[in-house]
Structure 1
Amino acid sequence: MSDATNNMLQAPEPPPRRAHRKGGRAMVVAVGLVVAVLLGLGVLARPGTREVAEAIPTVAVRRGDLLSSITQRGALWAMEPFEVKNEVEGWSTILEIVEEGTVITPEDVENGKVLVRLDSSGLEETEADREISFYRAEADYKQAQEDHAIQLKQNESNIALSELNVKFARMELDRYLGAALAGAAVDDGLDFSAVGEHPQLGGVAKQSVDNLEADLLLRREELTRANEALDWTRKLLERGYVNRNELQSDELQAKSAQIAVEAAEEELRLFKRYTLPKEAEQRYSQYIEELRNLDRVKARATSELAKTQASLDTREARYNLERQRLEKTRTMIEKCVIRATQPGRVVYGGASNPYERRDNPVQEGSSIEENRTLIEIPDPSTLAARLNVEETQIEKLRIGQPALISLEAVAGKVLAGHVARISPMASAAHAWLNPDKKVYEVDVALEEIPEDFIPGMSATAQIIVANREDVLYVPTSAVTRYKGWAFCWVRTPDGPLLRHLETGASSDRFVEVKDGLREGEEVYLAAPEVVDEQRLDEHIQQIKETEGPAAVGPEQQPQAPGSPRRSRGERGARGGGVRGS
């Protein structure tokens, strides 16, 4: 059992003399406070004495309407304020800022009133460096564009020239061998050693062969004529008509003709055997080489174009990067001067967070990080009381629950509202102060806007959790909880009796009793004696066995359908509780 539970269930020591009840109500209150303090300290600790029980105040169980609510102090803030943030990268020093509480009018918005001026000296130096880098990158980019355009034209010229060379080489091959044989050689290949005898031979080669063959034929004809003339000269010499000199002359002509024939034959043979194949294959090889050279030119053109394109892309990217950096720097410089764009009352950023406002307040000379809220201009239509509700009570709240808000600045006036937002996470601003205590931000929206609203005004909100009509209730101090079970000490003629309760809604002062007590019974506001954990566990086990499934869980288990159930008040009156010693 915890220390708090022991203190609640501990009985006081009997006083040396019974206190006289003089002095009226003030004396009773004083005695009650002394007894409560001594109970909490464990000084009065002798169980089973009626004197102790008589010294502890009691109250009667009442019936009536119980308003279950949670009351919490907070401050008024706009849930959706217009925020003016520091949009400059890094940290910036505030040179000027409009005074907090200043009312920005529509005329101020129209005239562009300056709200905040941040230090831009460092950014202006950066701008100068950025401009130099930008102009250099711009020049490199233009040079790369020109180099790329030149390379495109050069590639076109080189490819066109190479294509012409291919065309001329093919024309030369066709001219020399003839189109038919040249086409066959290109498509299927050709044995150039026998090209002179090829039936499709044409062109210059055919013409050369024909000329050589014609010359050979002419030489043979001349040889025939020379031989015939020699024969007639010999016959005439025998008859004495010619002399021997003429015979020798004809013999010389015949011999010359024979030599000419042999020379023509050899020339034809050499042409067909060597010259023609050589010339044909040279032209064929030249054509093939031009084709290959065309491929090389195209590949080289592609490679050179890729280089210039890569250089162009790199310099373009660099140019764009430097341009963006320069534009960004200029934009940051412009953002160092923040002008009014929304009318309303100026509230410095972090006003709702006292720790942030203390450690790094928004003021002239402060260094503020990027995205920090400098100024908030509240929207009165979203006005709400911002509360910090402990985690023990947060589960009772629901969106839309009604609430009553009172302002300390306007005494006696109560405004209607409702729960508009419940934070799903515990507040980090309070975690460092007490890590074991979790609080959640709750916004209670006002349904009526107060006059002369000033952000941060103190407010107290009473959130209506439930409104129970005609129920039994007792003070919260009379109820003790152990392992999820609720108990209270009941005053009986036989002495204090610890009785199990089924509780319902509660407020800051009272708890609804659904079962376990009767109207008019008196309960103690503090434990008149000590009950150790073992006795409580035995009592809980007895309740479970007596009530069956209805008491399996502490206060939450429903009664089995059709099973009769008497009130715990009746069971307690019959001895169902733990009797004092």
Structure 2
Amino acid sequence: MKRDSGVSMTSTEPLDRPPTRATRYAGLRRWWWLPAGLLALVVVGVAIAAVSGGSPDIASVSSPDSDAAWFTVERGPLTISVVTAGSIQSLDALVIKNEVEGRTTVLKLVEEGTQAKAGDVLIELDSSQFDDDRIEQEIRVQNAHAALVQATQKLAVVREEAKVDIDAATVDLELARLDFEKYTADQGEYRQELRRAETKITIAEARLERAEDKLEWSRKLETEGYITGSQLKADALAHQEAQVEVELARNDKRLLEQFTLKRQTAALTSALRQKEFALTKTRHLAKSKQVDAEVEERARLLTHQREKQRLEKLVTQIAKCTIKAPVDGMVVYASSTQSSFRDMDLLIEGAEVRQHQELIRLPTAGKLQADVKIHESMLNRVRVGLAVRIETDVISGVVFNGRVSKIATLPDAQNRWLNPDLKVYNCTIELDADTEGLRPGSSCRAEIVTEHHEEALFVPVQAVRRVDGVPVVYVRSGSAARARQIEVGRNNSVMIHVTKGLEEAERVLLSPPMGAGGK
């Protein structure tokens, strides 16, 4: 840090944000004589040119007698720089943003410049809307929980019913299969009935044979008179009954083989297939009901989780309405360090703030930086590493040194939106360690030294005209001013660096003839 001991001849870059009135006047006081002197020289030059009445392509003009119309070529230190304005910021600052969704109102606000401790409340935002929403959301969570419990219990019932129904259908199928096997097996009911019918036939045939033998003996005995006629008739009747019994037994066997077997087999087969289908149907229905119950339970679970997350979000939003300091640091409002075109951007109690809006900066280190903006016309002159002189109204007359550490690749979006014709690029200047007395958020004036020559020839920029694109000056030669082509470097809007074509102590005309200049 050093005291400013002289005037630096610089070019003032177009600024996206004009400096404060105090800054502007403080800068003007340092070289107030320069614009007045240049204006006087221009007026004298114009008057001389009007008197001389030179033609557009003359190589020399008459020499004015007044010394004020001439500039003596000097050799000395020349500084080419870009001047811009900005603000002082902490190099390592913790930015606190509004994390509450939507727009909220600031209820309480800590005073700017306060030395906050970690955990101190910095800002309280209005959470009344979130409080009302939280109560309603708690009701939704309880309803969703009750629906989830019902769906879970319903799923358990459906699963148990499915198990019971499937077990019952399985038993029915097994019984039908057993009935079928019981009737059609080798030792089954059909075989028993068949053997019973065959036995019945055998017994009936034996009885018939016995009845025939008895009837035959009765006839012989009746002929010989041993028995009466009525006894013979009884034996004949018994014989007929035996014949009928044989015929009925044979008919029962035929019905069993031709009709009863087919009918009973078909009935048992149909019953078996029906039980198989019933089991399959029961399984499908049970699976369908179970899937429906699982889907309902899953939906209720997701609904409960969603409502619970919304409640947690509301609780989080309410907690975020109380903004606390995460670390120790001095409170600096973000609106104090940024350009704003709307009063609503100012951080005050009662103001509305939006989500992700920067609210407070907490410098976490003593090292500072300057955030400035470079006009696109000057961008090609500025590069990382250039030396910078910083002045601020906080400490008048003291110059702080720094270097360009970063230049934005794209124009500043906010300024581009405010004024599409104005393209400025954010530039960061890292200040040297000795920054005692500077405060983050204060305005500053930055002079970026793009070139510095310890020994250079220079003339005022208005002394140089371009003829067909070639720089030309009018050098005093006796009683005339003769045109001479020169080579020049950069200028600082006051003086231009002459690299070739002039010698020290030569005198050039400050205001060349109006017709002498080309494009």
Q: Contact 2:404 / 2:429 at 8 angstroms: preserved in 1?
A: yes
Q: Deviations over 1:208-247 (max 9, x none)?
A: 1111111111111111111122122222222222222222
Q: For the residues of structure 1 that align with 2:463 and 2:235, how far apart are their CA atoms? A: 168
Report the alpha carbon displacement of residue 46 of structure 1 after superposing the two structures with TM.
3.2
Contact 2:78 2:453 in 1 (8 A): yes
**Structure 2: distance between partners of 1:404 and 1:467:** 13
* Correspondent of 2:483 among 497, 502, 512: 497
1:332 matched to 2:332? The reply is no
Shift of 1:437: 3.0
Shift of residue 172, structure 1, vs aligned partner: 1.4
Matched ranges for 1:363-512 at <5 A:
363-381=348-366, 383-431=368-416, 434-468=419-453, 472-480=457-465, 485-491=469-475, 493=477, 495-497=481-483, 499=485, 501=487, 503-507=488-492, 509-512=494-497
**Counterpart pick for 1:69 among 61, 73, 81:** 81
SS at match of 2:71: strand
Name the CA distance, whole Å, in 2 between partners of 1:399 and 1:245.
152
State which of 287, 296, 309 in structure 2 corresponds to 1:302: 287
Cross-structure match for 1:242 = 227
**1:152 pairs with one of 156, 159, 171:** 159
Partner of 2:250: 265
Q: Does the C-alpha gap of structure 1 residues 52 and 323 become closer, same or farther in structure 2, counting only changes over 3 Å?
A: farther
Contact 1:53 1:528 (C-alpha < 8 Å) held by counterparts = no
Measured after TM superposition, the shift of residue 73 of structure 1 is: 3.2
Distance in 1, matches of 2:99 and 2:429, equals 31
Aligned pair partner of 1:203 in 167, 188, 193: 188
1:456 deviates by 2.3
Greater share of strand residues, 1 or 2?
2
Q: 1:63 to 1:353 in 2, by over 3 A?
A: same
Query: How has the CA–CA distance of structure 1 residues 29 and 225 changed in structure 2, closer, same or farther, with 3 Å as cutoff?
Result: closer
Q: Is the 8 A contact 2:394 2:438 kept in 1?
A: no
Q: How many residues align?
A: 479
> Alignment partner of 2:402: what SS?
strand
* TM-score, with length taken from structure 1: 0.75
Shift of residue 116 of structure 1? 0.9
Query: 2:438, 2:505 → 1: CA distance?
Result: 48
Report the Cα distance in structure 2 between the residues aligned to 1:498 and 1:434, rounded to whole angstroms: 42
- Deviation of 1:479 after TM superposition, in Å, equals 4.0
Pick one of 296, 299, 305 that aligns with 1:314. 299
Q: Which one of 214, 223, 238 corresponds to residue 253 of structure 1?
A: 238
User: Does residue 1:35 correspond to 2:44, yes or no?
Assistant: yes
What's 1:133 paired with? 140
Which of 205, 212, 219 is matched with 1:220 structurally? 205
Match of 1:488, as an amino acid?
V
Contact map agreement 1:488 1:524 (CA 8 A) in 2 = no
Task: Work out the CA distance in 1 between the residues paired with 2:369 and 2:47.
Answer: 43
Cα distance in 2 between the residues matched to 1:441 and 1:486:
35
Q: What secondary structure does 1:354 align onto? A: coil
Instruction: Give deviations 1:298-319, integer Å, cap 9, x for gaps.
Output: 1111211122122112211211
Alpha-carbon distance, 1:452 to partner: 3.6
Aligned partner (choices 98, 109, 113) of residue 97 of structure 1:
109
Q: Report the alpha carbon displacement of residue 467 of structure 1 after superposing the two structures with TM.
A: 4.1
Shift of 1:433: 6.1
* CA separation of 1:434 and 1:234: change in aligned 2, threshold 3 A: closer
Letter in 2 for 1:32: L
- Cα deviation, residue 93, structure 1: 1.0
Distance verdict in 2 for CA 1:500–1:267, change over 3 Å: farther
Counterparts of 1:560-579 in structure 2 under 5 Å? none
Distance 1:293 1:97 in 2: 75
In structure 2, give the amino acid aligned to 1:489. V
Instruction: Measure, in 1, the Cα distance between the counterparts of 2:366 and 2:280.
Output: 77
- Is the 8 Å Cα contact of residues 490 and 523 (structure 1) preserved in structure 2? yes
> 1:337/1:516 Cα in 2 relative to 1: closer, same or farther (>3 Å)?
same
Q: 1:207 to 1:521 in 2, by over 3 A?
A: farther
**Residue aligning to 2:12:** none
Match of 1:46 in 2: 53
Matched residues in 2 for 1:421 and 1:329: separation? 40
Residue type at the aligned position of 2:227? V
Q: Secondary structure at the match of 1:312?
A: helix
Which residue identity does 2:448 align to in structure 1?
I
Which 10-residue stretch deviates more, 25-34 or 296-305? 25-34
Give the superposition deviation at 1:426.
Answer: 2.4
Higher relative contact order (CA 8 A, sep 6+): 2
Query: What's the CA shift for 1:335?
Result: 1.4
> What amino acid does structure 2 have at the position aligned with 1:50?
V
8 Å contact from structure 1 (residues 383, 449) kept in 2: no
- Residue pair 1:351, 1:357 contacting (<8 A) in 2 also: no
Q: CA 1:245 to 1:115, structure 2 compared with 1: closer, same or farther past 3 Å?
A: same
Q: Deviations over 1:224-273 (max 9, x none)?
A: 11112212222222222222222211111111111011111111111111
Q: Percent identity?
A: 28
- Structure 1 residue 505, shift from structure 2 partner: 4.6
Superimposed CA distance per residue, residues 370-399 of structure 1 (whole angstroms, 9 cap, x where no aligned partner): 222221112345521122221111122222
TM-score by length of 2: 0.83
Match of 2:260 in 1: 275
User: What's the counterpart of residue 552 of structure 1?
Assistant: none
Q: Against the structure 1 CA distance between its residues 433 and 327, is the aligned structure 2 distance closer, same or farther, given a 3 Å change threshold?
A: closer
Cα 1:444–1:293 shift into 2, 3 Å: same
Contact 1:67 1:468 in 2 (8 A): yes
Q: CA deviation at 1:82?
A: 1.2
- Aligned mates of 1:372, 1:28 — CA distance in 2: 49
Q: CA deviation at 1:406?
A: 3.5
Matched residues in 1 for 2:455 and 2:449: separation? 17
1:212 match: secondary structure: helix
Q: Which runs of 5+ in 2 are unaligned?
A: 1-33
Deviations 1:457-499 (A, max 9, x none): 233333232445655444444445689x451323264644263
Given the superposition, is the C-alpha separation of residues 313 and 28 from structure 1 closer, same or farther in structure 2, using an over 3 Å criterion? Answer: closer
